[in-house]
Structure 1
Amino acid sequence: MPELESRLLAPRRKTRQILVGGVPVGGDAPITVQSMTKTDTRDVEATVKQIYEYAAAGCEIVRVSVPTKKAGEVFHEITARSPIPVVADIHFDYRLALVAADGGAACLRINPGNIGGQDRVRAVVEKAGEKGIPIRIGVNAGSLEKDLVEKFGGTATPEAMVESALRHLEMLEKEQFFNTKISLKASDVVRTVQAYRLLAKQVDYPFHLGITEAGTPWGATIRSSIGLGILLAEGLGDTIRVSLTGDGSEECKIGHEMLRALDLRAGGFHMVSCPSCGRVQIDLNRVAHQIEEGLREINHEDVTYAVMGCVVNGPGEARDADLGVAGGAGEGLIYRKGVLIRKVKEADLVPAFLEEARKFKAEQSA
């Protein structure tokens, strides 16, 4: 482990390991990136199409809501066609959990306390055991049990969230079911972080991390990055979801970028670009964004690119990258592994850089 990482990151929390489909979660398994479909589940074609889009963006486990009988009836069609494991999201009606388990769910997301009495919990647990699938307990500050809210002064405090999680766990453990993971989500960073910290001291189940209802992409990305970043740096978390009111594919891309930023996952490319200033003499904003979009299509992993605007820091950053460009007066210098290989006009800069990126990928692949 690099010296910086050893100072920055706490040791990974030791948990039991579960399997979601063929994806290991917890223990020493890599931290996985999840998302949730935003289609009407009854529309099988739209839902499957979205799952494929998510998978292409790096989604490794996908959650699909099963809110109605009709959604349950078509759920098996979705799981049969999905390229990644599908978690069935169930609320209130335990019979939908049974249908989803029979329909190929790789995991059931329920709150045992809101599906009825212990007999209904037992039915779900028996079905999950029969199918060999885990259950995810999902505690959400916005839907906490009323008695717990009242107990803790009328507010969904971190302590109330943890007590809710323990209550749900007890219902499963009473049935000798331990194939479980847990999430404790609030819409703000502080409560979420505090809740996970508290529960981590009491159980060894794997955690699914997220800031729920985080908002539109600008604010949600900031809140998720801070909240998940704190927890991941403290060694907490086994799967993550970045919740955006927007494109789910972006959730997956942001999630992977978080993990790469903390050296918790490899893969993908890393692009360095300067913020621009009065020294820059090319349209850096256009060049950087077009290069980044082109690199996503090339999809070269474990490569560092640099797109710099001027001759102050540009040549140094470009030389340090696998492939880099330093802008000049209406032109750019392209470096490969520290060696200047091309000087091109600004109008040709993007296609020339992407051409070199494709060459680099082909040679590395060979």
Structure 2
Amino acid sequence: LEEMGYSNIKVSLKASGVPATVDAYRLFSKKYRYPLHVGISEAGPEFQGIIKSSVGLGILFAEGIGDTVRISLTAAPAKEVRTAWEILKSLGLRTHGVNLISCPTCGRTCVDMRVLVREAERRLKHITEPVTVAVMGCAVNGPGEAREADFGIASGRGEGLVFRKGKVVAKVPEGELIERLMQEIGG
């Protein structure tokens, strides 16, 4: 291409499997210095495709391979964009919106975490500024695990704690946790 006068080149390699894609980009990046548009082609349905894309692109980006990204899901284009942002955010390559951390459920959890996290996601989705929010299920481990977050909540029996930069700022009834969290964040 360069011999024909083309110098503004970006390369995208195609493979639908993670190992083949990673191998191809590794080999190409060792031999050439063109910018690479990376992605897993035909990754599949939403859940499976997100897993394949996250694993494959995570490996490549962690090795410094890749300049732009594409996500190919059998899903709405908005899901592809969100997946790309989340992969980049998880590797610390880009900051955009909320980094929501939450605990898995265990014997100490006193609240339905799935409901609490879904509501937090719904209420936080408009935020584009980079912020870390923790939604934790108990007052035993929650405060310690949420210490790194900008804002957080830790549920207890019928009530919970609201945090800002690792410090407790309020103790409120369980039903008011998300609303109080949003007040702290300013949304």
- Normalised to the residue count of structure 2, the TM-score between the two structures is 0.94
Flag the structure with larger Rg.
1
1:231 to 55, 60, 70: 60
The equivalent of 2:173 in structure 1 is: 345
- Report the number of matched residues: 187
1:290 to 119, 137, 161: 119
The equivalent of 2:140 in structure 1 is: 312
The equivalent of 1:141 in structure 2 is: none
How far apart in 2 are the matches of 1:244 and 1:312? Answer: 39
TM-fit CA distance, 1:181: 0.4
How far apart in 1 are the matches of 2:88 and 2:96? Answer: 10
1:218 to 47, 61, 64: 47
The equivalent of 1:323 in structure 2 is: 151
DSSP 3-state at the match of 1:212: coil
Are 1:334 and 2:133 counterparts?
A: no
Per-residue deviation, residues 322-366 of structure 1 (Å, max 9, x unmatched): 11101100221101112211222222222221222126xxxxxxx
The equivalent of 2:91 in structure 1 is: 262
Q: How does 1:128-167 map to 2 (within 5 A)?
A: none
The equivalent of 1:249 in structure 2 is: 78
The equivalent of 1:205 in structure 2 is: 34
Report % sequence identity.
49
Are 1:187 and 2:35 counterparts?
A: no
Runs of 4+ in 1 over 6 A off after TM superposition: none
Larger helix fraction of residues: 1
- Normalised to the residue count of structure 1, the TM-score between the two structures is 0.49
**What code does the residue aligned with 2:158 have?**
G
The equivalent of 2:69 in structure 1 is: 240
How far apart in 2 are the matches of 1:343 and 1:300? Answer: 27
Q: CA RMSD in A?
A: 1.4
1:273 to 102, 113, 130: 102
TM-fit CA distance, 1:300: 4.4
Per-residue deviation, residues 87-145 of structure 1 (Å, max 9, x unmatched): xxxxxxxxxxxxxxxxxxxxxxxxxxxxxxxxxxxxxxxxxxxxxxxxxxxxxxxxxxx
Judging changes above 3 Å, is the alpha-carbon distance between structure 1 residues 320 and 199 closer, same or farther for their aligned structure 2 residues? closer
Gaps of 5+ in 2: none
Per-residue deviation, residues 135-175 of structure 1 (Å, max 9, x unmatched): xxxxxxxxxxxxxxxxxxxxxxxxxxxxxxxxxxxxx3342
**What code does the residue aligned with 2:123 have?**
G
Gaps of 5+ in 1: 1-171, 360-366
**What code does the residue aligned with 1:304 have?**
T
